[in-house]
Structure 1
């Protein structure tokens, strides 16, 4: 897998997680712990995307 395709795959995962976080925040039964876990994963993906893009 090339770096470009890997970065694109990471971006897709980041977008999917972003949408999941938004849905969870709007849902009254969502766990704060789960939302925090998803946000941390989003940040990890973003940092990896940035690292690989430079």
Structure 2
């Protein structure tokens, strides 16, 4: 088992935070789809960066 780099750990934390924010926004009575799209794009960029590192 390899140790995760501090950078990768930070990316995982940011990814989890974005996921939480997306879920919170979707639970609202009138979710802002623009905000959800923006958060999903950020989450995808983090995921792509994680696969490269």
With structure 2 as the length reference, what TM-score do the two structures score? 0.87
Counterpart position of 1:51: 52
Aligned CA RMSD, in angstroms, stands at 1.3
Q: TM-score, normalised by structure 1?
A: 0.85
State the 4+ residue runs in structure 1 displaced beyond 3 angstroms.
none
**Which stretch shifts more, 27-36 or 7-16?**
27-36
Can you give the 5+ residue segments of structure 1 that lack an aligned partner in the other structure?
none
The answer to which structure has the higher helix fraction is 1
2:23 alignment partner in structure 1: 22
Higher relative contact order (CA 8 A, sep 6+): 1
Q: Which runs of 5+ in 2 are unaligned?
A: none
